[in-house]
Amino acid sequence: MKRSHVLIVDDNRSVLSALELLLQPLCREVTTSVNPNQLPSLLEKNHFDAILLDMNFSAGINSGNEGLYWLRQILEHDANSSVIMITAYGDVELAVRAVKEGAVDFVLKPWENSKLIATINSAIQLQNSRREVKLLKEKQQDLKGEVNREKAVIIGDSPSFKNVLNIVSKVAKTDANILITGENGTGKEVIARELHLQSLRSKEVMISVDMGSLSESLFESELFGHVKGAFTDANEERAGKFEVAKGGTLFMDEIANLSLPLQAKLLAALQNREIVKVGSNKKIAIDIRLLCATNSNLETLVKEGKFREDLLYRINTIQIEIPPLRERVSDIPLLAKFFLEIYSSKYKKPSLKISDKVLEQMQQYSWPGNVRELQHTIEKAVILGDGHTLTPSDFFFSKSSTSSATNASATTLEEMERQMIESSIEQNGGNLSAVALQLGITRQTLYNKIKKYQL
């Protein structure tokens, strides 16, 4: 009860004073009201752990209908509310009716202090349990998405990639905020998952959020959650990603896509280690390990005034730069054979092989889409190939990108990204859903890129 906020609604000021004196030493806060018409306003502005509600308010009327009406209003606002009805000795039947309609218990006037305190304490525990169950259900929904993801396997023994894995092993068991950088398709989320799996939080969930797909209006609701009625279509209270990831890892992809106002809101949450749901003023402590990823140069964006320097320092305790595939040429045959095993099994084409000529061409290709492009290239070849060996005729490599892998770095990151998106749009006949699937990004992120490059 020490951390609880209790509301008492009764038209008898003597009752309010007595209950307030009794509960104030035991609770964090006690709010009282003689007028039930104030309930909608009170519920909008506060979160109450227990509500004591009188059965009757109008003089001479003892039907209990007023109490039942306000009970329904409270439960309509939040079905998890713990409401205790206050009633006179002769109105026990009314109190039982109220319990059937959703009240958690009732107390009789005059009350026994010890029994009343025990009743309130039980009501608070019940509400906490209900909210915990609701949070677990929401976490379960996120977990279903995580479980249905293809399990990522880390492949590579090139010196540059081994260096990345070495850093991962050193920092994984800390709670340091990690910024993972690298071009599109290099495997930033794969490294994020490896950090989580090797961390002390591995038994809890890792929640992923594509920041590039969040609109200005959905940002706070998605990350911080909202209460019922906070905005149109907010039909029930919802936990945000920070709350769902409690005890685990929160992975924010495409962090550079946030606007400056949203960066400020995120920074405040990280600095204070607490969030406030949309439509509420109750602060909720957060307990997450933060991982962020971007394909942009945040230091350049800071200089250009597009990214907050204080936020960069907050998310960048350790930075892990993932090398592009053209800088880990020796890993290409390993990755190609790995993906070949997956897709030859998936599409019922056992015993498929890749010719040495194809592997040679692959090591000469610059792979602007990196590992993701290699993966989709292998899948397409397996689907369309006819023989038992995949030959150069089963693959298409852009001539502009088929050059010495070591010289490919002359192309800027943005130019390669633009070329890759443009090429994918052409290959898929303008079908943006297929393009997003091929590139491994959301449609919203694809729209943002198309707008950025004016494609």
Of the two residues 428 and 8, the one the predictor is more confident about is 8
Give domain status of residue 366, yes or no: yes
Give domain status of residue 137, yes or no: no
Residues 241 and 314 in one domain: yes
Residues 225 and 154 in one domain: yes
- pLDDT tens per residue, range 91-107: 677 778 888 889 999 88
Residues 185 and 53 in one domain: no
Q: Which of 130, 157, 174 is the last residue of a domain?
A: 130
Q: Which of 321, 351, 378 is the last residue of a domain?
A: 321
Whole-number pLDDT of residue 449: 84
Whole-number pLDDT of residue 181: 96
Of these ranges, 183-187, 234-238, 278-282, 413-417, the one predicted with the greatest mean pLDDT is 183-187
Residues 16 and 78 in one domain: yes
Q: Which of 321, 351, 381 is the last residue of a domain?
A: 321
Residues 416 and 305 in one domain: no
Q: In the structure, what pLDDT confidence band is assigned to residue 3 with cuts at 50, 70 and 90? A: confident
Q: Which CATH number covers residue 96?
A: 3.40.50.2300
- pLDDT tens per residue, range 205-249: 899 999 988 888 889 999 999 887 778 777 778 888 999 899 999
Mean pLDDT confidence for 170-197: 94
Mean pLDDT confidence for 259-279: 93
Residues 340 and 313 in one domain: no
Mean pLDDT confidence for 188-200: 94
Give domain status of residue 65, yes or no: yes
Q: What percent of the chain has pLDDT over 70?
A: 90
Mean pLDDT confidence for 425-439: 79
Residues 96 and 179 in one domain: no
Whole-number pLDDT of residue 408: 41
Domain ranges, residue 64: 5-130
Give domain status of residue 142, yes or no: no
Whole-number pLDDT of residue 90: 59
Give domain status of residue 226, yes or no: yes
Whole-number pLDDT of residue 58: 67
Of 181-185, 351-355, 399-403, 431-435, minimum mean pLDDT range = 399-403
Give domain status of residue 434, yes or no: yes
Q: What percent of the chain has pLDDT over 90?
A: 52
Whole-number pLDDT of residue 407: 43
Domain count for the chain, please give it: 3
- pLDDT tens per residue, range 124-147: 888 888 777 766 666 665 554 554
Of 28-37, 228-237, 393-402, 426-435, minimum mean pLDDT range = 393-402
Of 69-73, 230-234, 280-284, 355-359, minimum mean pLDDT range = 230-234
Give domain status of residue 135, yes or no: no
Give domain status of residue 139, yes or no: no
Residues 50 and 159 in one domain: no
Residues 78 and 208 in one domain: no
Residues 236 and 105 in one domain: no
- pLDDT tens per residue, range 372-385: 999 999 999 999 88
- pLDDT tens per residue, range 403-430: 444 444 445 667 778 888 888 887 777 7
Residues 341 and 361 in one domain: yes
Whole-number pLDDT of residue 405: 43
Q: Which CATH number covers residue 157?
A: 3.40.50.300
* Rounded-to-integer distance, Cα 172 and Cα 131, Å: 31
Residues 228 and 296 in one domain: yes
What is the SS3 string spanning the chain?
CCCCEEEEECCCHHHHHHHHHHHCCCCCEEEEECCHHHHHHHHHHCCCCEEEEECCCCCCCCCCHHHHHHHHHHHHHCCCCCEEEEEEHHHHHHHHHHHHCCCCEEEEECCCHHHHHHHHHHHHHHHHHHHHHHHHHHHHHHHHHHHCCCCCCCCCCCHHHHHHHHHHHHHCCCCCCEEEECCCCCCHHHHHHHHHHCCCCCCCCEEEEEHHHCCCCCHHHHHHEECCCCCCCCCCCEECHHHHCCCCEEEEECHHHCCHHHHHHHHHHHHHCEEECECCCCEEECCCEEEEEECCCHHHHHHCCCCCHHHHHHHCCEEEECCCHHHCHHHHHHHHHHHHHHHHHHCCCCCCEECHHHHHHHHHECCCCHHHHHHHHHHHHHHHCCCCEECHHHCCCCCCCECCCCCHHHCCHHHHHHHHHHHHHHHCCCCHHHHHHHHCCCHHHHHHHHHHHCC
